[in-house]
């Protein structure tokens, strides 16, 4: 009897989740948001929640995932990405690995568990193409001013893209290619008005160079808007879910939602999207990053191309939307 009630509860929860998630679908007249996702998936588990949410919104027709890149040298980061993409029936998505010098912040071991326990297409992160090569190839194939960069990790890949030279994919430099193809960069990073947040401080030199030389608008989803907990019901997902397994391995349920907030905003917040009412944008300005320690300060500037997200909605309302996306089951 107890087992039957448990199964009933799980089915009811997932049914309600599927009903709720449909409320966020963009108007069918709108084209899906074109996003490239860049992650350091391994140190913290909110990257997994963000990628799961992105796949859910892709199934709902709200977003087209153009590619997923690993900004960490940890060998299981991209393998974990690959397993999640495969679970959501998108093993065809281009992926790329940070090559050359980079940072390995270590892992809570969830990424290795996912890589070893679930199926995918990659045997080794070393088998994947260079992230910059993938960026250049993807951008060259997209319409002008159409791509949104969504970063929830280190900024090493973006710094490397900016300084990249013309190649077989495009005769433009990296900075020129970004200016032509990218409309917006949504960056999970920074404290506002000042502080020292992890994504900017791990590779501070790359953070400073990427932000200072980026040729389009940047919206920072800092540490402050993502402090609400999500994932309360994640263990109700089936055991075949790498999302469940990642949170289970990480060992802290529920957990903070920095990366999920940035993801939700990038898809459903921009362009007065259905959840835009949860936030407002700061006035224009510039984030100043210390290249030595990655600390940042905010400077107002009427001519600045940076803004940061300010939450005005309730934590529980934003958390409810994130939870619904994280509980989504692939078709």
Q: How far apart are CA 153 and CA 223, in angstroms?
A: 13
Contact 187, 221 (CB under 8 A): yes
Q: Which residue has the tokens 């006035």?
A: 283
Name the nearest CA neighbour of 49 among 198, 152, 190: 152
Task: Please state, in angstroms and as integers, the Cα–Cα distance from residue 92 to each residue in 41, 71, 286, following that order.
Answer: 19, 20, 37
HSE-CB for 174 with a 13 A CA cutoff:
17
CA distance 60 to 310: 27
Angle of helix 242-250 relative to helix 110-117, nearest 10 degrees?
150
Say how many residues make up the chain.
Answer: 331
What is the predicted pLDDT for the residue at 106? 63
pLDDT string in tens for the chain (331-residue length)? 333 333 334 444 444 444 344 444 443 356 899 999 999 998 899 999 999 999 999 999 999 999 999 999 999 999 999 999 999 999 999 999 999 887 776 666 899 999 999 999 999 999 999 999 999 999 999 999 999 999 999 999 999 999 999 999 999 999 999 999 999 999 999 999 999 999 999 999 999 999 999 999 999 999 999 899 999 999 999 999 999 999 999 988 999 999 999 999 999 999 889 999 999 999 999 999 999 999 999 999 999 999 999 999 999 999 999 999 999 999 8
3-state class (DSSP) for residue 252: coil
Cα angle, residue 115 at apex, residues 111 and 119 outer, rounded to 5°: 145
What is the structure's pLDDT at 28? Answer: 39
Phi, psi of 307 (to 5 degrees): -140, 160
What pLDDT was estimated at residue 107? 63
Q: How far apart, in whole angstroms, are the C-alpha atoms of residue 285 and residue 299?
A: 6
User: Quick one: which of 110, 157, 115 has its CA closest to 253?
Assistant: 110
> What CA–CA distance (Å, rounded) separates 18 from 38?
27
* Inter-residue contact 54 to 87 (CB < 8 Å): no
């Amino acid at each position: 009897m107890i087992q039957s009630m448990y199964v009933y509860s799980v089915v009811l929860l997932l049914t309600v989740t599927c009903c709720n998630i449909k409320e966020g679908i963009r108007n069918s007249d709108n084209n899906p948001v074109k996003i490239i996702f860049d992650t350091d998936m391994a140190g913290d588990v909110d990257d997994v929640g963000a990628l799961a949410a992105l796949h859910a919104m892709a199934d709902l027709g709200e977003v087209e995932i153009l590619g997923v890149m690993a900004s960490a040298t940890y060998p299981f980061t991209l393998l974990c990405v690959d397993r999640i993409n495969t679970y959501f029936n998108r093993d065809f998505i281009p992926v790329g690995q940070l090559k050359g010098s980079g940072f390995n912040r270590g892992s809570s071991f969830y990424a290795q568990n996912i890589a070893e326990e679930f199926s995918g297409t990659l045997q080794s992160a070393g088998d994947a193409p260079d992230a910059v090569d993938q960026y250049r190839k993807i951008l060259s194939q997209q319409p002008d001013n159409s791509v949104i960069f969504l970063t929830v990790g280190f900024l090493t890949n973006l710094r490397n893209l900016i300084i990249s030279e013309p190649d077989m994919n495009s005769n433009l430099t990296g900075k020129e290619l970004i200016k032509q193809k990218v409309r917006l960069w949504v960056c999970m990073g920074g404290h506002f008005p000042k502080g020292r947040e992890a994504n900017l401080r791990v590779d501070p030199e790359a953070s400073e160079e990427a932000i200072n030389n980026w040729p389009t608008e940047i919206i920072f989803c800092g540490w402050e808007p993502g402090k609400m907990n999500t994932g309360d019901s994640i263990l109700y997902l089936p055991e075949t879910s790498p999302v469940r397994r990642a949170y289970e391995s990480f060992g802290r349920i529920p957990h903070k939602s920095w990366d999920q907030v940035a993801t939700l905003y990038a898809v459903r917040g921009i362009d007065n999207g259905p959840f835009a009412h949860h936030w407002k944008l700061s006035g224009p300005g510039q984030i100043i990053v210390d290249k030595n320690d990655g600390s940042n300060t905010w400077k107002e500037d009427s001519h600045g191309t940076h803004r940061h997200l300010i939450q005005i909605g309730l934590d529980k309302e934003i958390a409810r939307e994130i939870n619904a996306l994280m509980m989504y089951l692939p078709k």
